Amino acid sequence: MRINKLLVLIGAVLLSIYSYGQQADSKLSVLYTPAEISHFKQNNPDVLEFYNYYVNNATYFTEIPKGKTLKTIPLKKVNPKTGEVLQDAIQMIDLDDFNPYLFNCKSQNNVNTFYSIQASNKILVMRSTIEIQKMFNRSKNNTNK
């Protein structure tokens, strides 16, 4: 009897882990429709897993390095569906739960891209596509161990 309970508990834990992996991060809904997200869940769960990883790990904020000249692009809000740049000033609150799809940051293939944040001593670092893919693959390998 005790073994049956243990097996049911293990099954429930594994099922919850599997279903968690199939969930779409709410940040994706600014760019993808519920139908598109559902399609990813059913037909391309690996793509959904990557997109979830991307919205939470493709960028990070840091202080502007002292004594270094850094080529930066001004960070601006955009309409995620059209790409149109919006004129709203960026507030630090916008950066608390950062969603790269809401801003003009784009990942370059081989190099990190730096974005300046007006009225701040911070910059946004957009990791290169290659770095994001390597990080994602490492996280998947660590999860599968």
The strand pair at 113-116 and 122-126 is best described as antiparallel
Say what the pLDDT of residue 34 is. 95
Q: How many residues does the chain have?
A: 145
Asked which of 28, 57, 86 is the last residue of a domain, the reply is 57
Tokens of 88: 């709203």
Do 65 and 33 share a structural domain?
A: no
Q: How deeply is 59 buried, as exposed, middle or buried, from its count of CB atoms within 10 A (0-12, 13-18, 19+)? A: buried
Q: What is the pLDDT along the chain (145 residues), one digit of tens a residue?
A: 555 444 444 444 444 444 444 699 999 999 999 999 999 999 999 999 999 999 999 999 999 888 888 899 999 999 998 989 987 777 776 678 899 999 999 999 999 999 998 888 889 999 999 999 999 999 988 876 6
**On the CB side of 46, how many CA atoms lie within 13 Å of its CA?**
4
Q: 44 and 73: one domain?
A: no
Same domain (yes/no): 38, 96: no
Q: What is the pTM of this model?
A: 0.77
Domain identity same for 45 and 73: no
